[in-house]
Amino acid sequence: MILQRIFALILLAVCAVLAVMAWPYQAAFSYEPVGPRAFPLLMLGLMGLALLCLAIRPTPIVHKEDEPPLDRPTLIKIAICTGLLILFAATFESLGFIVSAVLIGVPMARLYGGRWLHSAMVVVAMSVLLYWLFDRVMDVPLPLGLLDVLEN
């Protein structure tokens, strides 16, 4: 239980540092009525509140038998998943949303038991659908990257 509290307090300190870093952020232009810093500050505030509750709650978290154990294979999956997400962030601008989502989504689906064909079909369809949803419906421009030639 003490390790859970220490972990929560360390993450709470990280949230506080990130909030201090995000507070003075100003963008040259803004398409949001509240500005670009509202979302990160809101997320950090909610995370901080949850971590504070985690740190001061009176009882420890008890794991039930139907929950997966935090063993070596699970930790390896978490590390691979984190690495794939970092790779997605690194390739997002250069390769574009659709290509980087496909390149990261298929291994992610395979990591959690998906078959090759089904994983590829679902990830390609979701990537194109999400690009269309963000670009056309919500008017949030996403980079096309390598697929710039398809733009009208």
Minimal CA–CA distance to 39: which of 149, 146, 140, 116? 140
What tokens were used for 152? Answer: 């009208």
Rounded to the nearest 5°, which phi and psi values hold at 26?
-135, 135
Q: What is the pTM of this model?
A: 0.61
Rounded to the nearest 5°, which phi and psi values hold at 23?
-60, -45
pLDDT attached to residue 137: 82
As a whole-number percent, the residues of the chain with pLDDT over 70 amount to: 85
In contact, 98 and 144? CB cutoff 8 Å: yes
pLDDT attached to residue 152: 62
pLDDT in tens, 69-87: 778 888 899 899 999 999 9
Is pLDDT above 70 for 61? no
Is pLDDT above 60 for 30? no
- Mean pLDDT for 35-62 is 81
Strongest mean pLDDT among 42-51, 56-65, 136-145: 42-51
Q: Which residue type is seen at 68?
A: P
